[in-house]
Structure 1
Amino acid sequence: MILAVHKHVIARIPRFSMAHDGQKTWLLNINGVRASDKGIYMCQVNTDPMISQIGYLQVVVPPNIVDDESSTSTVAVREGLNISLTCKAKGNPEPRIVWKRENGFNITVDRRKKVEKQHGNVLNLTKVSRADMGSYLCIASNGIPPSVSKRIVLDIEFSPTLVVPNQLVGAPLGTDVTIDCRIEAYPRPISFWSFQDSRNMIFSGSKYHLVTNEDGYKIHMKLTIRSLSPEDYGSYRCVTKNSLGEAEGSMRIYEIPRPFPNPKSTSGLLNGVAHIDLNKKHLFLLLFAYILTSWPFT
């Protein structure tokens, strides 16, 4: 295709223009270079014989991730199954794809191999566990800045599991006592406390204080019963459920005697008789002094 003759642009492309320095140099200017502009260009001088000069225009394009051909921003899979995350990118030169975890943890590509990063358009994960849950970064680069990335959140779904650290807790009347349970579940479960065989939930108030700490799929629940009365002793249940199942654990609070304070050493007169309350250390020293003064040394 002929683009220009002398200073006249023949091709109807507004981005192309010609310039001449008035002597020997002719310039072809291309504004807003596009990937389609790459190719062979020839400058021809119609002399006899004809002379020409050929040049090749290489257009470099920074990477761009193609969302339509990549995994969605959030992917969910049941625990124990396999999953493949896909990331496609375009650019010139062809972009390279690197996968990393956003939290800096290693990627478990199979149950026996863990790597800091993985190369390729597709990241295959086998028999995923809840530890694989989190954000994965697909980073595309080709040496032409800037590099680009896509964040894909991997959700691992599993039924609730529950652990009760202490199933028996002793506490005296009138004191406060705290019991707790630890839960792992996803999707996020509904979790609550109940007393004895009642299915009624326990709520925070003057009698009870509830604390729930969440860290991803892990939940730590604490229940404090204030100023224990005889009616407060019994079995407390920690219950959790989501769309995949439910679990519960029980803790029994029982009464123990209130501890007595340690007696202190005292001395004084009782009914006119000298009264001395000695601890073991004082008795030993007194006995040792008596032996030293009464033993018939020769």
Structure 2
Amino acid sequence: MKKQILVSPDPRVNLVHGYSLEIREAGPQDAGDYVCQIATLEPREITHTVEILENDITFLDLIETLEPRKFTQTVGILVPPRIHYVTSNGRVEVKKGSSVRLECKASGNPTPKVTWSRKNNLLPDGVQTAVAPALSLERVDRHQAGVYQCTAANGVGDDVNTHVCLQVTRSSLEAEHIFLLFLLYL
């Protein structure tokens, strides 16, 4: 029934009570236009948009539209957000004074908004959250170490989040300086 197919070979698609189209386990592959033709004396066309939540049973109900000859449905599939990549699997170790880029990639429909926050603290630039798929930190020091949270949201289902633990180690020059001071006090 999708894209001018008269009879669907897909066992997930059925007519229910003669007037409703049922799509079981709807997914992104089901997006498109759906047309129902009803024989009447006056040919008319009505178009509607239908949104489907992924994995829900969906009915395109035609009971109230017995007059039109042609009925078109545009179907969009909504997919909850999912995070499928985060920098270094959530654990990053950098030397003091270096730069680091924390990345978080998410998918869904509509495209999720990705935000960064810091657990129990503000982000290094003094804000609570930053809307971006990546967070760049320059000349890091021990004050920027901590747990950073990536959140993906698109209004479908629950928001999802993951964490990146940033550990800042001393630079080799600083470690050498501390070691020399230690030797002087012996």
TM-score between the two structures when normalised by the length of structure 1 = 0.47
Amino acid at match of 2:79: V
Q: CA deviation at 1:47?
A: 5.3
How much does 1:59 deviate? 1.6
Percentage of pairs with the same residue:
27
- CA deviation string 1:87-113 (max 9, x = no partner): 1111111111111112x21111xxxx3
- Structure 2: which amino acid aligns with 1:20? H
* SS at 1:145 equivalent: coil
Structure-2 residue corresponding to 1:105: 121
**What is the aligned counterpart of 2:35 among 28, 42, 60?**
42
**Which residue does 1:267 correspond to in 2?**
none
Q: 1:38 deviation in Å? A: 1.7
Matches within 5 A, 1:131-146: 131-146=143-158
Q: Take 1:59 and 1:159, find their aligned partners in 2: how far apart are those partners?
A: 50
1:90 aligns with 2:107: yes
Residue 15 (str. 1) matches residue 25 (str. 2) = no
Q: How far apart, in 1, do the equivalents of 2:12 and 2:87 lie?
A: 37
Amino acid at match of 2:118: R
SS in 1 for 2:126: strand
Distance 1:99 1:63 in 2: 15
Matched, 1:27 2:20: yes
**Alpha-carbon distance, 1:133 to partner:** 0.8
Higher RCO structure (Cα 8 Å, ≥6 apart) = 2
1:77 to 94, 98, 102: 94
* Structure-2 change in CA distance of 1:54 and 1:2 (3 Å): closer
Q: Distance in 2 between matches of 1:85 and 1:159?
A: 20
| 1:130-185, Cα deviation, whole Å (9 max, x unpaired) | 1111111000111112110111111111159xxxxxxxxxxxxxxxxxxxxxxxx9
CA contact (8 A) 1:2 1:11 kept: no
Instruction: For residue 11 of structure 1, report the CA deviation from its aligned partner.
Output: 2.2
Give a deviation string over 1:116-141, Cα, whole Å, max 9, x none. Answer: 11111111111111111111100011
How far residue 249 of structure 1 moved from its aligned partner, in angstroms, is 6.9
Q: Kindly state the Cα deviation for residue 55 of structure 1 after the two structures are TM-superposed.
A: 1.7
Answer with 1 or 2: which has the greater Rg. Answer: 1
**2:95 and 2:171 in contact (8 A); partners too:** no
Aligned length: 155
How many angstroms apart in 2 are the aligned matches of 1:159 and 1:54? Answer: 65
Give the Cα–Cα distance (whole angstroms) in 1 for the partners of residues 93 and 106 of structure 2.
23
Aligned partner letter, 1:75? V
Q: What's the RMSD between the two structures over aligned residues?
A: 2.5
Contact 1:81 1:127 in 2 (8 A): yes
Structure 2 CA distance for partners of 1:61 and 1:40, relative to 1, 3 Å: same
1:63 equivalent among 81, 97, 105: 81
Give a deviation string over 1:246-287, Cα, whole Å, max 9, x none. 5327879xxxxxxxxxxxxxxxxxxxxxxxxxxxxxxxxxxx
Structure 1 residue 58 displacement after superposition: 2.0
Measure the CA separation in 2 of the matches of 1:107 and 1:19: 54
What amino acid is aligned across from residue 16 of structure 1 in structure 2? V
2:16 and 2:22 in contact (8 A); partners too: yes
TM-score (norm 2): 0.73
Counterpart amino acid of residue 11 in structure 1: S
TM-superposed deviation, 1:46: 4.8
Give 4+ residue runs of structure 1 displaced > 3 Å after superposition. 1-4, 46-50, 249-252
Out of 158, 162, 167, the residue aligned to residue 155 of structure 1 is: 167
Aligned residue runs from structure 1 range 242-281, under 5 A: 245=176, 246-247=178-179, 248=182
